[in-house]
Structure 1
């Protein structure tokens, strides 16, 4: 396998045009490649500046999870801190988790931040939403979002080999009309559901409004956790 390490977006585009497979942290790919065979050409974005940015409203797809600190909102920072072991977090990348993983532990946090994705294709760079990223699995160059008023994340304790534990993220954003929007997203099994409502002065009323969104389809046990988490995290 030949590994290319481009240092610019234009070089990365050329690699994609040549059929290179993105390697990322390889935490999800190595076992598959050992079983099915290695690609002839791979590339890493670890030297592309746009894929390694780490700021309050932007994170690159090549950023390893271990680097996620208080420069990013709490929902994203805490989500990254609960992925796998320390060894995994030192290698796994943001792009690998959201695009390459079936678990996508970071996806609920990215959804509640109302993040937009910048993706890299052989034809160029463009912006899209997370729904397309999940469906089509392009090369994720970066995520960008608006600064939230507050955000939070919770992951139920799980056991090795068991079903994926429930994950919930929430965030409150100030809207242009002076109101505040609450976004919540839950990973239940391998499915991710999300909903947005307007915050009111009554926390229970705000949380109950989420029942009218897609989150209302969650089973009662999951909904109890959602209700407690969101009510506690509202500003």
Structure 2
């Protein structure tokens, strides 16, 4: 059933008011529109005119200022869940992929012999850090999923994840840069093409993490939602 002007205007205003991941946002808007259309159709069946039925449906549904805060909260949770899943999957995967690359494409033994003393401790420290971030991502994913009812302020979890990425990524970049450029060890770029490919994959993952973290911080920057009509 095609929507009329009142409902379309309302849904357009709601869509402009909401910010967050595109998929969940479109799903919310579509769900709101379908609910309004169903209500308007029922009211029209009771004898109201089309425009009057749509106005009554919108009034019953609530103004954008009344509805948007709840929707926006859900979008911030969705953004946190997306970042948590990204960390849980990509950060440990990066560690595993580097380990596999070294095993499949080993460098010359001399490369290990000439690497500085700090190379192995830094490499292991980076692996541990990445695994810890992956574990935190998994915990946050559970908290924002099945554990959502047990946490009082899910927005804080979303914000924590965003801050975690922005705090830890420079550390990870520094450690990775030291391993890649600060030594002549097995991950030096010179003479080790597989390392170049893996580095590009790592940069792609980091870019995705930063994008998701920026979204989380943007959605939780101010509490919760400005009133709007």
Q: Which has the higher strand share?
A: 1
Indicate the TM-score class for this superposition, using the shorter chain for normalisation: under 0.3
Higher RCO (CA < 8 A, seq sep 6+): 2
Q: Which has the higher helix share?
A: 2
Say which one has the larger Rg: 2
TM value normalised by structure 1: 0.24
TM value normalised by structure 2: 0.25
